[in-house]
Amino acid sequence: MEIMKTIVKRKQIGVVLLLVVFTAIFYAFVPIGPPTKTFVLVLDAGHGGKDPGNLGTGRLKKTEKDVTLDVVLAVGQMIEKKYPEVKVVYTRNGDTFPTLKERVNIANRNKADLFISVHCNANANTSAFGSESFVMGLHKTEESLATAMKENASIFLEDNQGRDYDGFDPNNPDTYIALSLRENVFLEQSADLAKHVQDFFKTQLGRKDRGVKQAGYYVISFTNMPSILIELGFLTNPTEEDYLQSPSGKSSLSKGIFTSFEKYFEGMKKGHSVEEVAQEQEEKGKESEKENENVNIEPEPLIGSESIQSEEIDGVMWRQGNEEGVWFRVQVHTSPQLLKDNAKDFRGLKRVEHYIYSGQYKYVVGRTQSFNEAKVGMKAMQAKGFTDAFIVAFENGVRIDLKEALKKVK
């Protein structure tokens, strides 16, 4: 009997071992499949099909639509190769003509996490050159308004002549005033990516940096995710046109956009979501203010300081000027909805402005290019009952990290 039990037991062990070996062999040869796509990127090559876009100097056969497609496809290939978990969606991958509305619909329909549109610039002044990136917002200059109007004008090349856009008229400046009032909870993340692009173009490629700007481009104004539009350079400048049309030029620009995406994406992975990253940046702003409590930066006159004026606002003297450069402001309140100027939350403050950040309205007072003055203003606001008031920094109207701002003004 004992012998029989031993034989049965050995057989059972043998069966188990065979199952283990079979399973190991099976899974060694059966592909597991691609990683789950956790991040959706939409790449938009400007123009296409019957819309050639910018014709450049006319010396070369290829136009804007060809340059943008080459660059976008190269960017997509690099991202797909390094980040298999990223799903790359193209608004066009050939010489087709998706409407502006369809480009937006593709991004929103795919619930994209990021939208990047690529274009080439044009100017009647053939000496104009350099790269610039745009995020949604109110035009700061007539030039950015004109550029947006030009790009949006492709609406009129569509079969319905733009009648499918609910009154959006690219030739009417009033359209852009209304557009600027649209909520954009992703402005900070969009500006962050745009800055990565401009920094790479400037430091690694030696391109002229025309900056990160705000403008009412249709494709970045109606997407429901962080969105930027990149103007690679001016095809109307013969020297820059040769660069933009050359294989080496397009390769370098593609690498710049890829590297910028890489920085953005790695940041997103650490934060897991746009909203969490935004909240993390908010907390860093408060921490930076505390860390720099004892930093002393003597007020320095600005270039063109004759345009800088001091003004008393809510009992504090602030130096005023245009929005170019780095400015410090004091944040006093946060609200999920837009408040009236005389809201009780403002405790009688005469001049409160707001910006949108992480889906919230952030209310700020004062504006100065002196950190010392900002500290005085912060303490004054705290004395008025805004105990959580802290300093925030902006560059060219876009909020930036306080530590970065302090380095820029030293």
For residues 390 and 379, what is the distance between their CA atoms, to the nearest angstrom?
Answer: 9
Q: Hey, is 250 helix, strand or coil?
A: helix
At a CB cut-off of 8 Å and minimum separation 6, what does 45 contact?
65, 68, 69, 71, 72, 73, 90, 91, 92, 118
pLDDT digits (tens, 9 = 90+) for 122-141: 988 999 999 999 988 654 44
Q: Residue 115 — very low, low, confident or very high, per pLDDT cuts 50/70/90?
A: very high
Tell me the per-residue pLDDT of 35-54, one tens digit each, with 9 for 90 and over.
Answer: 456 899 999 999 999 889 89
In this prediction, residue 143 has a pLDDT band, given cuts at 50, 70 and 90, of low
Q: What is the pLDDT of residue 48?
A: 92
Encode pLDDT of 298-319 as tens digits.
333 332 333 344 455 555 555 5
Task: Identify the pLDDT of residue 62.
Answer: 92
pLDDT of residue 34: 46
Q: What angle do CA 33, 38, 44 make, to 5 degrees?
A: 105
Indicate whether 358 pLDDT > 60.
no
Name the more confident of 372 and 197.
197
Query: What average pLDDT does range 161-190 have in this prediction?
Result: 57
Instruction: Please write the tens of the pLDDT for every residue from 245-293.
Output: 999 899 999 999 999 999 899 887 766 444 454 455 455 555 544 444 4
Q: Work out the percent of the chain whose per-residue pLDDT is above 70.
A: 64
Residue 3 has pLDDT above 60, yes or no: no
Q: What is the pLDDT of residue 399?
A: 79
User: Can you give the pLDDT at residue 164?
Assistant: 54
Mean pLDDT of the 340-358 span: 80
Q: What is the mean pLDDT of residues 2-26?
A: 49
Which has more pLDDT, 199 or 153? 199
Secondary structure of residue 47 in the 3-state scheme: coil
| Range of 112-116, 160-164, 331-335 with top mean pLDDT | 112-116
Query: In Å, how far are 102, 339, 340 from 45, measured between CA atoms?
Result: 13, 39, 41
Half-sphere exposure of 128 (CA within 13 A, CB side): 19
Higher pLDDT, 389 or 306: 389
Residue 334 clears pLDDT 80, i.e. is over it: yes
Whole-number percent of the chain with pLDDT over 90: 30
Across residues 196-201, what is the average pLDDT? 92
pTM: 0.56
Angle at 22 between CA 21 and CA 25, to 5 degrees: 85
**Token pair of 31, please?**
């592909």
Q: Is the pLDDT of residue 360 over 80?
A: no
Locate 351 and state its tokens: 């001049």
**What's the mean pLDDT in 148-164?**
55
State yes or no: pLDDT of 1 exceeds 70: no
Amino acid at 402: L
Cα–Cα separations (whole angstroms), residue 246 to 60, 70, 72, 76:
11, 11, 15, 19
pLDDT single digits (tens) 211-241? 998 877 777 878 888 999 999 999 999 999 9
